[in-house]
Amino acid sequence: MGKKILEIKNVSKSYGDKVLLKDFTYLFNRFEKAGLIGRNGTGKTTLLNIITGLTEPDKGTVERGETIVFGYYKQQGIEFDDDMTVIDAVKNIAERVMVSDGTVLSITQFMNYFLFPPEKQYTLIRKLSGGEKRRLYLLTVLMRNPNFLILDEPTNDLDILTLNVLEEYLAGFRGCVIVVSHDRYFMDKVVDHIFENKGEGIIKDFPGNYTQLREKQDETERLISSGKSSRVSSPEIAPDATGKKEKKPGLTFKEKKEFETLSLEIQNLESEKNLIEKEMSQGSLNPDDLYIKSKRHGEIMKILDDREMRWLELSEK
């Protein structure tokens, strides 16, 4: 798989009584691309900050390769000087960028690749839209030539055209990537395995993409519902005070109906999203229709994120 770039050994981290990581061990190699999913508040950001050295673990070690260079696209982003032009802000970081195949691009070429054409490069930052500022932030992360790239919820703020460029960039990226997202389409195109944060400090590594993980969880739910597998149905826990074993509660009738409804709703939303993406990529839409489609795409992404988080919560019961 390549040379070791970072190794985590028996790392644990808690805040107060809340356990966010418990004896997590993993060896990262060059060229691997991992997804990271889990409910909000389970410790995803804590893991990323421990990897990059922004947070120290309570116990365990993190060994980073000597040549490691992190690129960390965060939700909060960075603050720009609004009175600077786009190109001046970028030139403060570098004059040239080396991409994965060894090609050296000028800043102008790299900006053009990430949808900042020449006429846009001399625009004042304060005149950029929110989406354009997020794209500029992504640009400043990538142009530092990282070999360990972390993308925290990139699909929340980046428009579909930028995401298409990012997918293409990552396909040729010769480094390690971790993507935090619940966008099945984006994850399936980018990652080759999934870290699933189960809560209470437990992280499971699934050897497949997001769709394969969902299909596995669906199959487990079907087995539980049909009663065909005693191994996956309501596992037993420790005996209570009377000596009788209690069973872990599964889904209530109401939750089962909600789970079925969510599965169908997610499927319909993803179908609509894929259709919009196909229409936008054909280049046949006029500016007004393109704006309407792009706005609806953003709305779908936010709804999907909410629905899939709830779907994960129910699937873990």
pLDDT value of position 47: 94
Do the bridges between strand 33-38 and strand 176-180 make them parallel or antiparallel, or are there none, so unpaired?
parallel
* Span 133-159, average pLDDT: 90
pLDDT value of position 234: 47
pLDDT value at 315 more than 90: no
Do the bridges between strand 202-206 and strand 33-38 make them parallel or antiparallel, or are there none, so unpaired?
unpaired
pLDDT value of position 123: 92
Alpha carbon distance 86, 250 (integer Å): 53
Structure tokens given for 14: 């808690």
DSSP H or E run through 104:
strand 104-106
N-terminal to C-terminal alpha carbon distance within the chain: 35
**Is residue 298 very low, low, confident or very high in pLDDT (cuts 50, 70, 90)?**
confident
Residue position matching structure tokens 């925290």: 152
pLDDT digits (tens, 9 = 90+) for 32-68: 999 999 888 888 999 999 999 999 999 999 999 988 9
Helix, strand, coil share (%) of the chain residues, nearest 5? 45, 25, 30
pLDDT digits (tens, 9 = 90+) for 228-256: 545 544 444 455 555 544 544 567 767 77
pLDDT value of position 288: 75
Alpha carbon distance 145, 45 (integer Å): 22
pLDDT value at 310 more than 90: no
Which tops the pLDDT comparison, 75 or 154?
Answer: 154
pLDDT value of position 228: 54
Per the CB < 8 A criterion, the answer to whether 236 and 151 are in contact is no
Give the angle subtended at the CA of 304 by the CAs of 303 and 305, to the nearest 5°: 90
pTM exceeding 0.75: no
pLDDT digits (tens, 9 = 90+) for 68-106: 999 999 877 778 889 999 999 998 888 888 776 677 888
Per-residue b/e over 50-69, b at no fewer than 16 CB within 10 Å?
bbbeeeebeebeeebbeebe
Count other C-beta atoms under 10 Å from residue 45's C-beta.
18
Alpha carbon distance 313, 259 (integer Å): 10
Mean pLDDT of the chain: 83
Per the CB < 8 A criterion, the answer to whether 281 and 164 are in contact is yes
pLDDT value of position 237: 45
pLDDT cut 70: percent of the chain above it: 89
Alpha carbon distance 184, 244 (integer Å): 42
**Is residue 150 very low, low, confident or very high in pLDDT (cuts 50, 70, 90)?**
very high
pLDDT digits (tens, 9 = 90+) for 97-141: 877 667 788 889 999 988 999 889 999 999 998 888 999 999 999
Residue position matching structure tokens 């709830």: 310
pLDDT digits (tens, 9 = 90+) for 196-220: 998 889 999 999 888 888 888 777 7
Lateral strand order in the sheet of 18-29:
18-29, 4-15, 59-64
pLDDT value at 285 more than 80: no
Which residue stretches of 116-252 are H helix? 118-121, 130-142, 160-171, 184-190, 210-226
